[in-house]
Amino acid sequence: MSPSYLMALDVGERRIGVAIASTIAKVASPFDAIINDDKVFDTIESLIDQNNIGAIIVGLPRNMQGEETKQSEYVRGFITRLKQNTSLPVVLQDESLTSVHAEEHLKESKKKYSKGQIDSESAVIILNDYIREKL
């Protein structure tokens, strides 16, 4: 079976939001956020295997002027380690304001939500933006 899914990561120092989308349906769905610990690459590899992932889209944070930030530097370091732990293509996608939009979207549901849900909803936005721009 050929890989037919994309996975987006919203990388934070404590948690990583995760979203997955079919390259056919082209609609991202949130997964539970994962803990960014010493087992994070094993966890990501498990998600790749379980979900037939063909590429990983990673959100790259920028400030309001479009410049990279200290968090951008952290994410680039994470990507370097990610590439050492997987053979899949890793693609950067601008993630400006995704957390703000994700939290607004979750507030509209009028249900309680966690920081992990905000992270995964941010990953959904990152992946949907990538799909809209590239597929």
For the residues 120-127, what does the mean pLDDT come to?
A: 93
Phi and psi dihedrals of 18, rounded to 5?
Answer: -130, 135
pLDDT bin (cut points 50, 70, 90) of residue 54 is very high
Q: From CA 120, how far away is CA 92, in angstroms rounded?
A: 17
The CATH code that applies to domain 5-134 is: 3.30.420.140
**pTM for the full model?**
0.90
For the residues 19-41, what does the mean pLDDT come to?
A: 95
Phi and psi dihedrals of 33, rounded to 5?
Answer: -65, 150
Cβ neighbors of 94 (< 8 A, separation 6 or more) are: 59, 60, 62, 129
Beta bridge partners of 54: none
Q: What is the pLDDT of residues 90-101, one digit of tens each?
A: 999 988 756 666
